[in-house]
Structure 1
Amino acid sequence: MKKVLFLYATTDGQTVKICQYIQNELSDYECELQNLNENGDVDFSAYEKVVIGASIRYGHLSKNLYRFIEKNLEALNTYKVAFFCVNLTARKEDQGKDTPEGSVYMRTFLKKSPWTPKLQGVFAGALRYPQYKFIDRVMIQLIMKMTGGETDSSKEIEYTNWDKVTKYAQSIKEM
């Protein structure tokens, strides 16, 4: 059976949830899921495809993601590897912030990274106020207030557009 490796860097779990959703869409593949922050060693030749997902926190992707890219640049450029990022700004689909071209985070990633993924995706994350520590809740409320988002700290809102994730999964099959 064909194998796909999912590597993820997540803060609150939405990125891994998206990875698991894509895994379900790739039912013809044997899928493996690994936390990028726990394991940086990957034998790319053991997989037909690799999918990397990472979340934005306070405007930044995980430093471990950039370390992984530097360490594995040759393999990333050789094998079939897709990348997606998850952030709350992507909830603004009407403004195109859920596309690689319209996402400031994806554009920043592409400037900072020596690797340009062949398949890129941008997905809205989830707002989970009750789960956040006090300082995170206050900071995220401030950010959401500045960007016209939800500030009610009793709410949990999932902004992920699952139809868009399904289309991305189809693109992974085709790559």
Structure 2
Amino acid sequence: MEKILFLYSSREGQTIKILKHIETELSEFQCELVDLHQVGEIDFSVYDRVLIGASIRYGKLNKKLYQFINANLGQLNQHKVAFFCVNLTARKEDQGKDTPEGSVYIKKFLKLSPWQPKLIGVFAGALYYPRYSWFDKMMIKLIMTLTGGETDTSKEVEYTNWKKVTLFAEKFKQL
């Protein structure tokens, strides 16, 4: 059975939830889920494919992602590796913000990263207001007010387009 490594950088768990959905679409593979923030050295040759998922917080990917990329650039370039980004801006599918070409975060990532993945996905995340600290709740509410999103801090809202995640899983399977 072929093996897949799922690496993730997630704040509230939506990136993990997306990876678990992708895992259900890849039932013929053995999948291993690893926190990018806890990982040591990884031998990519043990895996047939690698998928890295990372979330945006306050407009940025976690610096651990870039550290991992810099430390593993050779392996990333030599193996079947894909990347996806999770952010709230991607909820604006009608504006193309859920595509690598229309995502300001992917454009920034590609400028900052020496690794240029061949397959990139962009998925809308979720708002988990009740789980946030007071500061995060107020900052995210302000951002959502400015961008026309949900501002009721008693709600949890999931924006992820699961059909789009399934289509990405199919593309990843074809790497």
- TM-score (normalised: structure 1): 0.99
1:42-81 CA distance string (max 9 Å, x none): 1100000000000000000010000000000010000000
Is 1:40–1:68's contact at 8 Å kept on the other side of the alignment? no
> Which consecutive residues of structure 2, in runs of 5 or more, have no partner in the other structure?
none
Q: Distance in 1 between matches of 2:84 and 2:94?
A: 19
Match of 1:124 in 2: 124
SS of equivalent to 1:32: strand
Is 1:100–1:106's contact at 8 Å kept on the other side of the alignment? yes
Match of 2:60 in 1: 60
SS of equivalent to 2:61: coil
Is 1:7–1:53's contact at 8 Å kept on the other side of the alignment? yes
Q: Distance in 2 between matches of 1:62 and 1:43?
A: 22
SS of equivalent to 2:117: coil
Aligned length in residues: 175
Say whether residues 1:2 and 2:10 are aligned partners.
no
RMSD: 0.5
SS of equivalent to 2:94: helix
Q: Which amino acid aligns with 2:122?
A: V
Match of 2:104 in 1: 104
1:5-53 CA distance string (max 9 Å, x none): 0000000000010011101110010000000001142110000000000
Q: Distance in 1 between matches of 2:97 and 2:120?
A: 13
Q: Distance in 2 between matches of 1:40 and 1:108?
A: 26
> Which consecutive residues of structure 1, in runs of 5 or more, have no partner in the other structure?
none
1:4-153 pair list within 5 angstroms: 4-153=4-153
- TM-score (normalised: structure 2): 0.99
Q: Distance in 1 between matches of 2:130 and 2:151?
A: 12
Q: Which amino acid aligns with 1:168?
A: F
SS of equivalent to 1:56: strand
Moved more, 7-16 or 38-47: 38-47
Q: Which amino acid aligns with 1:161?
A: N
Instruction: Percent identity, please.
Output: 65
